[in-house]
Amino acid sequence: MNNYKEAKQQYDAMAEIARNIFNEMSKTNGLLSCDVATVASYNDATKKARVYFPGDNENASSEYLNLTDKNLVKGQKVYIFHKYKDIEQGWIMA
């Protein structure tokens, strides 16, 4: 790996494979699933963030509770954990 771009492409590919394996195991075992989202806004008082998913724009955001001990910032990538096929009832783990 000679440059950042190659390293990032390899990391992204490995992360996608790991997500796919995790999601497939979730389907067959009734476990949790996760999706990557981007923070559109964050309210530290309520610990809730509005996030949007890849392919959506910032205006098409959904609100989730942040269960981490970290404050989130606009543009940050986070994981939304949820029961398989029930993303509306998810929560954030950054």
pLDDT at 27: 67
Number of separate domains in the chain: 1
Span 36-86, pLDDT tens digits: 999 999 999 999 999 998 888 888 888 999 998 889 999 999 998 887 777
Task: Name the burial class of residue 41, with classes exposed (0-12), middle (13-18) and buried (19+) by CB atoms within 10 angstroms of its CB.
Answer: middle
Structural domain harbouring 32: 4-93
Tens digit of pLDDT for each residue in 24-47? 776 666 667 788 999 999 999 999
User: Looking at residue 77, which CATH number applies to its domain?
Assistant: 2.40.50
Please check whether residue 67 is in contact with residue 78, taking contact to mean a CB–CB distance below 8 angstroms: no
pTM (global) more than 0.75: no
Max Cα separation, the chain?
43
